[in-house]
Amino acid sequence: MLLLQLIVVSKVLVAKGKGMEFEKTRRQHMVSLLQRKRWSVHDLAREFEVKVSIVLDDLEHIRRSISSRHKIRIFPSECNDCGFKFKGRSKFTSPSRCPRCKGERISPTMMKIELT
Ligand SMILES: [Zn+2]
């Protein structure tokens, strides 16, 4: 009985360890992709076949952990109807609606990792 419990516990630990490793490599891979070109959160979610919420988590983690020589540069969304620029946003996600013309044709917010 005790042996069985030990087996169950060790299997859970192994599964957790693998999950963390997977997460680590995904984030490392994401950093290298973001160093090459601009990505939106939706592009990244599609690339890694994960939910947008997972990408947002990863980006927050990357933002905190990348070296001080690097930063995630955000290229703001624009309204395709009136040209309004969503400057000064630090969010990774795109706004859904233009505050000026109320249009919903908004270009996606893009991110890239650059040297500071
Ligand atoms: Zn607009």
Does residue 37 form part of some domain? Answer: yes
Surrounding residues of ion ligand 1, Cβ less than 5 A: 79, 81-82, 84, 98, 100-101, 103
Q: Domain residues for 56?
A: 16-115
65 Cα–ligand 1 center, Å: 35
- Calculate how far, in angstroms, residue 83's C-alpha sits from the geometric centre of ligand 1: 6
Model pTM score: 0.78
- Residues 65-95 as b or e (16 or more Cβ within 10 Å = b): eeeeebebebebbbbeeeebebeeeeebbbb
State pLDDT tens for residues 44-99: 999 999 999 999 999 999 999 998 899 999 999 999 999 999 998 889 999 999 99
CATH of the domain at 35: 1.10.10
Is the distance from CB of 94 to CB of 109 less than 8 angstroms?
A: yes
Q: What is the dihedral of CA 37, 39, 43, 46, to 10 degrees?
A: 70
The rounded distance, in Å, linking the Cα atoms of 92 and 52 is 10
Q: Is residue 2 part of a domain?
A: no
What's the pLDDT score for residue 6? 54
pLDDT at 21: 76
The tally of domains found in the chain comes to 1
Report the separation in Å between the CA atom of 114 and the middle of ligand 1, taken as the mean of its atom positions: 29
The verdict on residue 45 lying in a domain is yes
Task: State in Å: Cα 108 to ligand 1 middle.
Answer: 14
pLDDT in tens, 8-28: 555 555 555 567 777 779 999
